[in-house]
Amino acid sequence: MIGYVPPGRGDPAASAVPALQVSQIAKTFGGARALKGIDFTVSAGEVHGLLGQNGSGKSTFVKIMSGFHAPDPGGSISVYGRQLDLPMKAGAFRDYRMAFVHQHLGLVPSLSVLENLRVASITARKSRIDWRAERVAAQQALDRFGIQLDLDARTGAISQIERALLAIVRASDDLRATGSDHGGGILILDEPTPFLPREGVDRLFELVRRVAAQGDSVIFISHDIDEVREITDRATILRDGLVSGSLVTREASHDDFVEGIIGRRITRTTSTRPDVTSLEPRAIVTNISEPGISVEEITVAKGEILGLSGLIGSGYEKVPYIVFGATATSSGTLVLDDEKIDLATSTPKRSVKRNIALLPADRPKASGIASLSVAENMLILDLKKFMGRFGLKRAEIARRATELAHEYEVRPNDVSLKLGSLSGGNAQKVLLAKWLIREPKLLMLDEPTQGVDVGTRQQVFQVIRKAASEGAAVICASSDFEQLADLCTRVLVFARGRVVRELVGDDITKDHIAEACYGHSQHN
């Protein structure tokens, strides 16, 4: 495999004192070994990718680094030659010039940008806070990276990308505050991009490059192979709790990464693309007219998977939420089979009764309930079926949920676990099961494989194709052109709130979709 380096051979970091040296780190939970003794290095000033399927051990490793988990005895971790005192005490990672930015950023929405950025300094003070000095320090931190933010703005009111940039600047500033003679710092970014638009990812990557240029190392953890290939110098791949190998990014292809992650090459399959004119229309959406979106007509047939795409802000992503009633509209009509529905009066509750399903992109906030069990999330819409004389028949709920977890390959198959404890891909399978057991007439998906590893992605595709084959009309809104090319029977491209192009047949390729999106934007 081009660029594929088995552990311990040809490692360009091995010739110098590495920023991070991980040796034989293992972790056992009960009788299960989540990590089986991993070894890898990160060079000074390097952006280093860390990839693997859900359950490969990435999250466990990060929690060991942060002091949340204690590793099994016998392993070691050093930062610029300094041995970490394992198990790490909570917060002790700061003493070794490490900082973490997790997917949900760790910011307090009700505080100002200034307060979030300087929280470590503010909480450490035992005397009166010098707000003037804190403001100067905060502005200097932003200026160092060329980031413009209103220090007095409430953090919850700024955009998602601005919050992500704020979190990274804060983490980098924390590294500077704990400077030492032992070298640079290590910034660990744990899935920072899934909820960002493409232009947001570009801005974040520019900031990551500046952090590395200042001498700090960055560990970039992601499911998105294309993003890893774009931003990293090297990558370590975990599989089943072991390091399956490492890749020099510039020498490796997308398929090299896939093979390292799942242990084999994936043969991509595409949906059968029938002549849609011969299919029976199931859902017709007409006359939506709102700021940022104007839809004359969108038709989707039984058994069809219709893709909606465009550049971020082009309006395509609003369609599923308006049709479901989750986003208010003053106009628009949905004809579903023989029923005519006024979208201005539609609500999610009414949509559910009409057998309309929506799987939002934002799993933690809008799709599932992290604090409830897998069983409760799967069957929450159908609990009336499990009511008995003395309340819910919990044994029947658990039995049915276990059957569904097996059918949808949810791992681990323990339906008593909280949804929030599952990996992103397995949580997505639970939420798909919640809707698909109801056999929806219209299934709408917003970025269905966002934050999902490459192996689970194919499983999700299979589930969606099965729903279509059983008669559902499927609408998939996505900015992932490759996903649309693999999955869809037609693709509608939006620009400035309108459908500007329809792709069918052989025109449904990643490149053609990209050309339609970017090409039209350049001419409008």
Q: How many CB atoms lie within 10 A of CB 51?
A: 26
pLDDT of residue 501: 92
Which residue spans within 325-429 are E strands per DSSP?
333-336, 339-342, 356-359, 387-388, 391-392
Name the residue with higher pLDDT: 317 or 146: 317
* CB of 188 closer than 8 Å to CB of 174: no
Residue 35 has pLDDT above 80, yes or no: yes
pLDDT tens, 276-334? 556 778 999 999 998 889 999 999 999 999 999 987 678 899 999 999 999 999 999 99
pLDDT of residue 182: 53
Q: Which CATH class is domain 276-355+439-522?
A: alpha beta
pLDDT of residue 8: 39
Give the Cα separation of 501 and 520 in Å (integer): 9
pLDDT of residue 516: 83
- The token pair at 389 is 């004389």
Give the Cα separation of 479 and 224 in Å (integer): 13
Q: Regarding beta strands 281-290 and 293-301, do their DSSP bridges make them parallel or antiparallel, or are they unpaired?
A: antiparallel
CA 495 to chain centre: 25
Contacts of 12 (CB under 8 A, 6+ apart): 43, 234, 248
pLDDT tens, 501-524? 999 988 898 878 877 876 654 444
Give the Cα separation of 256 and 251 in Å (integer): 9
Name the residue with higher pLDDT: 337 or 496: 337
Q: Transcribe 110-137 into DSSP letters.
A: TSBHHHHHTHHHHHH-SS---HHHHHHH
Name the residue with higher pLDDT: 363 or 316: 316
pLDDT of residue 15: 45
Name the 3-class secondary structure at 445. Answer: strand
Q: Kindly state the helix (H) or strand (E) to which residue 490 belongs, with its residue range.
A: strand 490-495
Dihedral, CA of residue 18, residue 20, residue 25 and residue 30, to nearest 10: -170
Average pLDDT over residues 353-374: 85
pLDDT of residue 97: 87
pLDDT of residue 178: 61
Percent of the chain with pLDDT over 70: 89
pLDDT of residue 66: 86
pLDDT of residue 2: 36
* CB of 124 closer than 8 Å to CB of 212: no
Give the Cα separation of 102 and 96 in Å (integer): 18
pLDDT tens, 58-99? 888 988 998 888 999 999 999 988 898 888 888 788 888 888
Examine residue 87 and say whether the peptide bond preceding it is cis (omega within 30 degrees of 0).
Answer: yes
pLDDT of residue 92: 82
Top-confidence range, 185-194, 419-428, 494-503: 494-503
Average pLDDT, the chain: 84
pLDDT of residue 314: 83
* CB of 175 closer than 8 Å to CB of 99: yes
Protein fold of 1-97+216-265:
Rossmann fold (3.40.50)
Residue 14 has pLDDT above 50, yes or no: no
Q: Smallest Cα–Cα separation from 475: which of 282, 278, 270? A: 282
Domain(s) labelled CATH 3.40.50.300 in the chain stretch across 1-97+216-265, 276-355+439-522
